[in-house]
Amino acid sequence: MQKQQFFSHKFKQRIKLDFSLIKKGIKCPNCKKLYTISIEKNKKYMICIQCKNTFKRRTVYYFNIMELAVIKGEEGFTLQEAIQWCEAENVYSVRRICNEYLECEGQRYKRYYLKNIERS
Ligand SMILES: [Zn+2]
């Protein structure tokens, strides 16, 4: 609890990146273009219309969530933000990836962070 307060206090002194101003949506893990991959329900594979590569849905989500984690850094992010970020309908896929590859803090309102991030 104390650690948490200290943490948020410290963070307020920094210049916060305006999350709402960053373009959201799925980016291609290969050509890094936005909106070239559409994630369809019940489809495990999808094609980027730009570079014509095929990706597993999981790979696409993973890439985009990791990008979010890097942008957010020590601030971390919530599952809701990750879903927004990926414009995901499939909450479970996003949550599974977050739980598997990221560190999390909190019980009910979890925040996710990159593993081994330097949190000062
Ligand atoms: Zn592509």
pLDDT in tens, 13-54: 445 567 777 888 999 999 999 999 998 888 899 999 999 999
Check residue 8 and give its pLDDT. 53
| Å from CA of 91 to ligand 1 middle | 23
Q: How far is the CA of 41 from the centre of ligand 1 (A)?
A: 20
Q: How far is the CA of 27 from the centre of ligand 1 (A)?
A: 8
The pLDDT tens digits of the residues spanning 19-28 come to 777 888 999 9
Interval 61-118: pLDDT, tens = 999 999 999 999 999 999 999 999 999 888 999 999 999 999 999 988 899 999 876 6
Q: How far apart are CA 45 and CA 24, in angstroms?
A: 21
Cα distance between the two ends of the chain:
16
CA 86–ligand 1 middle distance (angstroms): 16
Question: Of 36, 73, 42, 75, nearest to 57 (Cα)?
Answer: 42
